[in-house]
Homo-oligomer: A and B are copies of this chain.
Amino acid sequence: MLSLSSTTGYAIQAMAYLDGPDGESKFIRDVAEATAVPPAYLAKLVQKLVEAGLLDSKRGYWGGIKLARPASQITLLEIANAVDGPRWMRQCLLGLEECSDARACPAHEFWKSARNLIRDTLTRTKLSDVAEFEQRKNSKLKSTIIDD
């Protein structure tokens, strides 16, 4: 609670491992192994992301999946919306029914601005940012100087 769903986390990690439209596609199986996401669950998740227009997929021998757009043009908010639906951010921090701008609970104003801050951050953070983080993590042993 008080984080994105773990499914959204899966989606972000998997997508961060994929190439963009001009790159080569990867097999779901390999993506699952590389990111430690349950393979069958990822396969289901992929469908949602394809429907949402975030991924392109191709069946058959030379099949696989890749990003529909460059990673630098995909925001984390888009992924969260695609996976959890547009109502993933609930209104009241305290779960109170009667909580609006007019009749605010004691945490309302705080949470309203915090929520906007979170949304802005997820909009500002691109998939490429996560991909860079993951790559740096994985290449930790190989090079310590080259990349930044």
Interface residues of A in 78-116 (CB under 8 A from B): 84, 88-98, 103-107, 110, 114-115
Separation of A105 and B36 alpha carbons in the complex (Å)? 17
Q: Pick the contact of A89 from B2, B88, B94, B103 — CB < 8 Å?
A: B2
Asked if A84 contacts B1 (CB within 8 A), the reply is yes
Sort chain A's interface into a size bin.
Answer: 35 or more
Separation of A6 and B84 alpha carbons in the complex (Å)? 17
Copy number in this complex? 2
Interface check A30, CB cutoff 8 A:
no
Q: Pick the contact of A90 from B2, B12, B91, B114 — CB < 8 Å?
A: B2
B-contacting 9-mer, from A44-52, A60-68, A122-130: A122-130
Interface check A40, CB cutoff 8 A:
no
Interface check A4, CB cutoff 8 A:
yes
- Residues in B neighbouring A90, C-beta threshold 8 A: 1-3
A-to-B contact residues, CB < 8 Å: 1-6, 8-10, 12-13, 36, 76, 84, 88-98, 103-107, 110, 114-115, 117-118, 121-122, 125, 129-130, 132-133, 137
